[in-house]
Amino acid sequence: MAVDKLKDVWQQHHQEGIFLSTYAFDEEGVRFVKQHGALRGDVSFPLHVRHTWIDIDGKDIHEAVKRTQRALSILADYGVRPIIWFSGRKGFHLQMGNVFQLEPAPDVPQKVAAYCKRLLGDLVDLAPIRSAASLIRMPYTRHQATGYYKAPVDSLEDFNPHSYRQLNVQPVGQPSGVINPETLTTPKKHTHSPATIEVEGVLTSNVPYLCAMRMLEHGPVEGTRHQTLLRMASAWRRLGLPIDYALVLARTWLQGEWDSEWERIIHQTYERNYSYGCHDEIMQRFCTNRCSLYRQRNLKVVSAGAMLQELSTLQQLERKALELEAIIGQPFRLLPGSLVILTGDTGIGKSAFAQTLAVQLGVLTLYLNTEVSQAMMARRFAQIAYQLSASQVISQSSKLDPNRLKHIHMITAHPTTSTLSTLLQAQPYELVIIDTTDDVVVEGVRSEADRLKAVIELLRDLANRTGAVVIAVHHINKEAAKQGRITLSSLTGIRTVVTKADYVLAIQGSRGHPERMLRTLKARDGSMLQTMLHFIPETFTFISHENHLKRQRPANKKW
């Protein structure tokens, strides 16, 4: 029956709250319903995608409009144009075709839900799509709680739900566009020429940093406001926008949440010339192939002369390198901006070695502790710094000089990636130690592999941008622990952990014996290392094997 005829039936019988099944099914599905009385749980018969529905809500209609506009912008990057329906209450339904081109199968709902989540993240409510029993309100029916009708929306600008108190059937076209589920992060090409882009309906040529424009348009999102504002301010600076104008834009974007901290962020970005590239995690999220930088982001040509000029920069980096020879007994240095993965079996002394580096290198250090109590970590730092036993540190705590540890800032928490990014940029740290990668929280990810990938990519980016040496303590898998042999394949998680790192250092040995072997599994500049260390549990300190032997020699004996 046609929708316009159904409307007359609904009005005639005053029916409200009519829902339809999100997925279609054949005779086998009909028999299942007759047998069980309803659809519930997993099913064994094939389900068909009639339409892909996306349900977007907000705490009020204004928030729902913004969230829907953001979803439409993302879909437009893939060439998908849905039909927009007002849900009748506080949100919208986006009606698309079989955009993921799914064949009939029992697991179709799970696939649709997973693809929509990957595409739109937390914008989408998965309830109307994630199971065979999912339902969606039928078009042109009235919501019982509000009295508003579900009807198509011409424009979200100045949207007024009160205009939907009366049923007004509007002509509805057909949704268009398909998406390859395997390339959800690769937007489809637009029809405009490469040098021409469209911003809010106006054709414009050669405009960079459209990601910043999209951030501004989408508004602030709780939990990511600080990081997003940093990137917008950086883009405004590079576009030549005066700082006074940037402050006005930021104040407008924050919608009344403005205070001195936000103003400080803008000034700091302009003064320190913060720059974020196209491969930055947040910049990528708002990237569009309409931007003039899109095609050039992997094709920056540098002349041989310019490359030679960069050698002076390398010389400066080497002068600021962290020298480990005094600690490990062999020449070895870590250049500023390096990402170091420190791995080894549980209980072998990864944290003790990291703390020894933090104390003895003497540079401004941020130590992020996620596994041990703050009091115990403080005691261990003191043992290393003052070469005292645990009981001596506690008994002499009031007499210890705090200046020996003043270069170490420690935080005991399980931070999110956005909090971590804020912490690392708060001070000009030269050394940052994350102990461990297992406990950094990433919001909105689907799996442990995605969480770890986001953490490692963030640490890689922060090392590059801040110039700090970032040491990430990382565990090995169970198989490597059983065999007692560590290779690059022994690290838990995904290959990104290895590929993004400049160095992978492994500590091996027996928990019951003080000797430990420190060796490089990977060194990007080829400076491989294999050296014996000695762990002194009394002072929680690692020293080189050579220094250990010197301590054992009688003072009056000649060697």
Look at the block and give the residue holding tokens 């309830």: 127
pLDDT over 90 percentage in the chain? 33
Query: With bands split at pLDDT 50, 70 and 90, how would you rate the model's confidence at 400?
Result: very high
pLDDT, position 181: 84
Q: Which overall architecture, per CATH, does domain 3-183 show?
A: Alpha-Beta Complex (3.90)
How much is the average pLDDT of 400-405? 92
Does 25 have pLDDT greater than 80? Answer: yes
- Residues whose CB falls within 8 Å of the CB of residue 317, separated by 6 or more in sequence, listed in order: 335, 336, 337
Which of these, 156, 141, 170, 149, lies nearest to 61 by C-alpha position?
Answer: 156
> What is residue 249's DSSP assignment?
H
Minimum mean pLDDT among 55-69, 95-109, 304-318: which range?
Answer: 304-318
pLDDT at 554 over 80: no
Residue 486 or 188, more confident: 486
**Stretch 506-532: mean pLDDT, rounded?**
91
- Say what the pLDDT of residue 239 is: 81
pLDDT band at 9 (very low <50, low <70, confident <90, very high): low
Q: How far is CA 296 from CA 203, 235, 292, in A?
A: 20, 17, 8
Average pLDDT over residues 284-299: 67
Residue type, 30: V
Confidence (pLDDT) at 195: 34
Burial class (CB in 10 A: 0-12, 13-18, 19+), 320: middle
Where exactly are the structural domains of the chain? 3-183, 209-285, 324-552
Q: Are 542 and 327 in contact (CB under 8 A)?
A: yes
What is the per-residue pLDDT for 309?
67
Tell whether the model's pLDDT for residue 522 goes beyond 90: yes
- Mean pLDDT value across residues 10-33: 72
Average pLDDT over residues 465-491: 89
Residue 185's pLDDT is what?
62
What is the average pLDDT score of the chain?
A: 83
Give the closest residue to 522 by CA, choosing from 543, 542, 500, 544.
Answer: 500
Residue 465 in tokens = 């941008």
Rounded mean pLDDT, 303-317: 69
Average pLDDT score over residue span 393-408: 93
Q: How far apart are the first and last CA of the chain?
A: 102
Instruction: Give 516's strand partners.
Output: 509, 533
**pLDDT at residue 193, rounded to an integer:** 35
pLDDT of 132 over the 90 cut: no
Q: What tens digit of pLDDT does each residue of 29-48 get?
A: 888 877 777 776 678 888 99
The pTM is what?
0.50
Give the pLDDT confidence of 166-217 residue by residue, as tens digits.
876 666 777 888 888 877 765 444 333 333 334 334 334 346 788 888 898 8
CATH code at 324-552: 3.40.50.300
Q: What is the dihedral of CA 389, 390, 391, 396, to 10 degrees?
A: 80
Torsion angles phi and psi, residue 54, rounded to 5: -120, 120
242: confidence class by pLDDT, cuts 50, 70, 90: confident
Q: How confident is the model at residue 2 (pLDDT cuts 50, 70, 90)?
A: very low
CA 554 → CA 135, 514, 542, 558, 559, distances in Å?
83, 20, 21, 8, 10
**What is the pLDDT, as a whole number, of residue 381?**
96
Can you list the alpha helix ranges (DSSP code H) found in 330-389?
350-361, 374-386
Residue 361 pLDDT > 60, yes or no? Answer: yes
210 sits in which H/E element: helix 210-218
